[in-house]
Amino acid sequence: MAENVKYTEDSIKSLDWREHIRLRPGMYIGKLGDGSAQDDGIYVLVKEVLDNSIDEHMMGYGRTIDVKISEHKVEVRDYGRGIPLGKVIDCVSKINTGGKYDSGAFQKSVGLNGVGTKAVNALSDYFKVQAFRDGETKIAEFEKGVLKEDRPIDKTSDRNGTKVIFTPDASIFKNYHFIPEYLENQIWNYAYLNAGLTINYNGKKYFSDKGLYDLLSNKVEEESIRYPIIHLKGNDIELAITHSNQYGEEYYSFVNGQYTTQGGTHLAAFREAIVKTIREFFKKDYDASDIRQSIVASIAVRVQEPVFESQTKTKLGSHSVGPDGPTLRTFVNDFVKTELDNYLHKNPAVADALLKRILQSERERKEISGIKKLANERAKKANLHNKKLRDCRVHYDDNKANEEVKNNTMLFITEGDSASGSITKSRDVQTQAVFSLRGKPLNCFGMTKKVVYENEEFNLLQHALNIEDGIDGLRYRKIVIATDADVDGMHIRLLIMTYFLQFFPDLVKNGHLFILETPLFRVRNKKETIYCYTDEERQRAIHKLGNKPEITRFKGLGEISPEEFGGFIGDDIRLEPIILNKETKISELLTFYMGKNTPNRQNFIIDNLKVEKDLALEDPKSEEPEEEAA
């Protein structure tokens, strides 16, 4: 077969910048997605434009940024210096063109590769850039990266700055939608990291006085904090630290204003420095896991010419703070050692509360050590990969794997043989794994982590995810709860959510937990089949197909054939993210879902069941095609 393939001069292709970005978008913005995950491509596009405005503010130009985002349109207006008018088109359409190569103009910028806005331009149906500079303005408009309108320089009375308007290309970002909570979180991070900056987003003002202190105050429940937030600032470094009553470690790390969701060298240095400093302060060699258990912390550093491990800049690879500076490890360690040690000496009450939290973690660890060993042995004997888990070939923690493929990895958590069987037969074995539950999981509300090791289902699930010692080794980017859309399915869904919120809240807060949406109806005639996720979609499908189409209502995942399931978990998969906004209190959430407020919870389940509401609206005989069409 290979011998018949001709390799000639005609086989060699040269793509221009626009063609290459559109052909390989994952190289520039990571995974595409539909907006259901916080790191999907449409949010990266917003970030790339906002980063330029933030860099202007960092250089001392502009204290306000106006942002408007509707269902499909993004508009960003800053009040910086404005792009030099003669270079407006080049800056958004020529790779390796920009002011950030001039180290004098942008010392500690987020983006240094000259790709950002070019990728936004190439991946947008419509892209407009307008520069305002010293009483003059220049406008250029593009479609999918192709220049359509090059307007001459004109006079203006507007303030200096730059305005960018774009709509993501629907042919690349299929079925995309912006989730307001993700955008709001993105905007808040910019505010926290740039004290004095005001961002007006869709009519609401975002502003922070205390930087990372404010970030932590909004991320952790006040009643859960074990001691007042420690807030430390120095040249090019800022920290905020506390411990809470929740399990796990929770970090928010930033480099030059960029939220590094996957951490990197700066976060690794911080985690190491915390342990070293606390050991030296208390003059005792505490276990590192006991010191960091239940920590909630944030670190922001600014370095010259940062090196990231991917174009989307989610993980820092730099080992030094600049060409002539110390290593990041030394820089962070020296700061933490000096400033945190001084703080603890000056605040003995805080030091005492911190010590109590460490000793509590130590007791809990020793209490479950024996159970943990037995549980690990049981997990091995259970032959996890054959009985409970149908694994995939690529994993999220595989540093050698392609970034875009890694970001598409997911684990479906199912209940029952029929549902797991359908998904297993139709899944993409490269990136999709299936974990099959046996019946309803235990209600673990209010229990300690000891139950995770005592309960076989929970123990095997945490091993499948590889989160026993934290989410650093998480094997799948998305954990997808796939249960039936009936009362039992909703109850199982809540039990699984309780497990993660109770014992692995950082996994939920980092946007890894989702609900699989499956169609409620299939509407078809001899020529076309339409799957409908709501009653409104069903009505539209009936109107479109006409002539009394055949209608099937799916009451459970097991009723959907593997062939059909392949379409629901492929490119057009619909996932509903579990989002914890800054007003969400996990303790109150768990009490509502799994506490003793049974009537309220029952009402919640019924109110949120699409199938039950649809059934209640229809005649019991309406499954017949003739009845439906009528």
Q: What share of the chain is helix, strand, coil (3-state, %, to 5)?
A: 40, 20, 40
Cα–Cα dist 341/583, whole Å: 32
SS3 call for 118: helix
In the chain, pLDDT over 70 holds for what percent of residues?
84
Q: Average pLDDT for residues 594-609, to the nearest whole number? A: 61
Does 514 score more than 80 pLDDT? yes
H or E stretch at 138: strand 136-143
Q: What is the pLDDT of residues 296-317, one digit of tens each?
A: 999 999 888 777 776 566 777 7
Does 445 score more than 80 pLDDT? yes
Q: Average pLDDT for residues 216-220, to the nearest whole number? A: 88
Strand partners, 415: 437
pTM beyond cutoff 0.85: no
Does 628 score more than 50 pLDDT? no
**579: number of Cβ within 10 Å:** 16
Block residue for tokens 């320089």: 153
Cα 246–Cα 252–Cα 258 angle in degrees, nearest 5: 165
Contact assessment for residue 33 and residue 40, using Cβ atoms and an 8 Å cutoff:
yes
- The single-letter code of the amino acid at 627 is E
Cα–Cα dist 624/450, whole Å: 51
- The single-letter code of the amino acid at 613 is K
pLDDT of residue 611: 41
What dotted CATH number matches 18-206?
3.30.565.10
pLDDT band of residue 110 (cuts 50, 70, 90) is low
Does 360 score more than 90 pLDDT? yes
Does 392 score more than 70 pLDDT? yes
pLDDT of residue 588: 65
Domain ranges of the chain: 18-206, 212-365, 382-518
Fold of 382-518: Rossmann fold (3.40.50)
Any alpha helices (H) in 12-64, and if so which ranges?
17-23, 26-29, 41-58
Q: Average pLDDT for residues 523-537, to the nearest whole number? A: 88
Q: What rounded mean pLDDT belongs to the chain?
A: 84
Q: What is the pLDDT of residues 374-391, one digit of tens each?
A: 777 777 666 554 568 899
pLDDT band of residue 113 (cuts 50, 70, 90) is very low
The two tokens of residue 106 are 């942008």
**279 Cβ contact partners less than 8 Å away, ≥ 6 residues apart:** 285, 286, 291
pLDDT of residue 244: 92
Q: Average pLDDT for residues 528-532, to the nearest whole number? A: 88
Q: What is the pLDDT of residues 48-77, one digit of tens each?
A: 999 889 888 888 899 999 999 998 999 999
H or E stretch at 387: helix 384-387
The DSSP result for 248-277, as a single string, is: S-EEEEEETTEE-TT-BHHHHHHHHHHHHH
Which of 112-121, 279-288, 377-386 comes out lowest in average pLDDT? 377-386
Q: Average pLDDT for residues 566-576, to the nearest whole number? A: 84
Q: Average pLDDT for residues 351-362, to the nearest whole number? A: 96
pLDDT of residue 104: 46
Which phi and psi (to 5°) does residue 158 adopt? -70, 155
Q: Average pLDDT for residues 19-35, to the nearest whole number? A: 84
Does 615 score more than 70 pLDDT? no
Greater pLDDT, 121 or 602? 121
The DSSP result for 504-544, as a single string, is: -HHHHHTT-EEEEE--SEEEE-SS-EEEESSHHHHHHHHHH
Greater pLDDT, 590 or 285? 285
CATH architecture observed for domain 212-365: 2-Layer Sandwich (3.30)
Cα–Cα dist 60/298, whole Å: 24
Q: What is the pLDDT of residues 428-443, one digit of tens each?
A: 999 999 999 887 888 8
Cα–Cα dist 566/531, whole Å: 13
